A and B are shown apart, each in its own frame.
Chain A
Amino acid sequence: MTPHPTTPALPLGDDALILSHRLGEWAGNAPVLEEEVALANIALDLLGQARILLSLAGDEDELAYLREERHFRNVQLVEQPNGDFAHTIARQLYFSTYQELLYDHLATTDTPLTPLAGKAVKETAYHRDHATQWTLRLGDGTDESHTRMQRALDALWRFTGELFDPVDGLDDVPWQTLRDEWTTRITSTLERATLTVPEGPRHGAWTAGGGRQGLHTEPFGRLLAEMQHLHRSHPGATW
């Protein structure tokens, strides 16, 4: 395989690709039919973003199906297993809030990603709204849903620090400002949902991070094995 491109389209494309894959696992398993539609809708938006971004970096299928785990640049948050519906919603809330802030910024600056960001930020606003509404329903719903939602937010908290590690090639992004704004928005949503902002470090050598350097969590290898198996079994075939 050719050397891996260093464009920032690759890490952002990997984020969208892997989260889309996880959401695709919900098909046929959602708690209500409306969520079958909504989760597939979000997955499709993300897959669309991934295809554009990966195409900016090279051949979309070669990049998706023929790289190994150590060459994927997505953050560890998006590769986390779906868990229960609360875990999926917590992951969506953390990630879509980040993605909306980042794309909002990229849409207004002049980079090769600007046209994509302009389109994607509209989709991402919908994803964030969807996650916010469910966070409110689950947080301020029943005792059980409150407990589950808090547990999910706590469990995924340590994967959020990595979101603000500077991405190579996106040097003009004010990462610290995005991080502060992200924290403000998440705090406000969780307060409205009667939930508590998790405590503990979000970043550090002993917590999560490293996805951007190709260091992933254990479930990721199995995700790739499933995703790539058929494509790799027929080298050179077109589909």
Chain B
Amino acid sequence: MTTIAPEDTGQEALFDATIAADERIEPRDWMPDDYRASLVRQIAQHAHSEIIGMQPEANWITRAPSLRRKAILMAKVQDEAGHGLYLYSAAETLGTGRDELLDKLHTGRQKYSSIFNYPTLTWADVGAIGWLVDGAAITNQVPLCRCSYGPYARAMVRICKEESFHQRQGYELLLTLSRGTEAQHAMAQDAIDRWWWPSLMMFGPPDDESAHSAQSMAWKIKRHSNDELRQRFVDICVPQAETLGLTLPDPDLRWNEERGHWDFGPIDWTEFREVLKGNGPCNDERIGRRRRAHQEGAWVREAAAAHAAKHPAHPPHAGTDQEEAAR
């Protein structure tokens, strides 16, 4: 905890009262250094996940099996870039810059969600990502719409609306495959088998091993524990899997009358820690591709900056000049 100088105690009391009253902290409000740092870490990691998360799905854009599916997938990947932009903006209200955050991503000093280090091996993986990965993300993110930091909470409202749409599309993709030919059904089942456990890991380590949880909950950044959200997700998925006509790869999955929840088997936390350490199946490819895009684009960003410096009065064209507008 930071020590508070006497003249600051009034501000700290105001901060505490705002949190206690379930009101929002805004960018100009005083906030504890640790609260600021914790939010920067979480929002940046969230933004990075959107950006890295484009890759496993973009992997299938050029091979999408119908024009309708191709349009849906392109729109989804575009939304993810947009979500990254909202989140970097939210992080910037805390006094950090997008360039600095991207640099931390590229040099491995900030993380992104472990899930995006798994490969998309078949078309059905696009559906599994929509249903399970976006489903887990929504379960995690809906409570963030009530997070104590205003800009983050507002970004989450917009993001959650679009994510729910993506999730329904993913579910519908799997439903079509499940009811399609035998080969399509098998493709869908195989994708669920590969994505189920990594999706459960998205909620983070168990509560007794989660380093930041207690403080985040006290600050009302987080509203529920990792294990609580994970259980909620399992309870939602089991009946949905039945409707899909697909099975979840867990022999220990059983309804527990007493708890009123589904019991499920143990998660392989060794695998989780290895993926977080950089030893998952695609860690090197994901970060390598991101770095490459950034490096190969350096001359373009330099050109835009040089042009803007030469033509300071250049008026942005109404609503279309996105690069100028972002400056």
Contacts and interface: CB of A to CB of B under 8 A. Distances in A.
Interface stretch (A1-9, A113-121, A210-218, A226-234): A226-234
Contacts of A61: 66-67
A44 B77 CA distance: 11
Nearest to B297: A31
Interface in B286-327: 289, 292-294, 296-304, 306-308, 310-311, 317, 320-324, 326
Nearest to A63: B67
Given A34-B322, A144-B302, 9 more contacts: A27-B58, A32-B301, A44-B78, A48-B71, A137-B308, A138-B307, A142-B302, A144-B303, A237-B181
Contacts of B324: 133
Given A36-B54, A47-B71, A145 B303 contact: yes
Interface of B: 51, 54-55, 58, 61-71, 74-75, 77-78, 81-82, 84-85, 88, 123, 176-177, 180-181, 183-184, 289, 292-294, 296-304, 306-308, 310-311, 317, 320-324, 326
Classify the interface of chain B: helix, strand, loop or mixed: helix
A30 B296 CA distance: 9
A206 interface: no
A129 B71 contact: no
B85 A141 contact: no
A47 B75 CA distance: 11
Contact of B54 (A27, A31, A48, A148): A27
A33 B84 contact: yes
Contact of A137 (B176, B180, B307): B307
A58 B64 CA distance: 20
Interface residues of A, number: 54
Contacts of B294: 31
A48 B72 CA distance: 11
Contact of A32 (B55, B74, B78, B323): B323
Nearest to B292: A29
B300 A21 contact: no
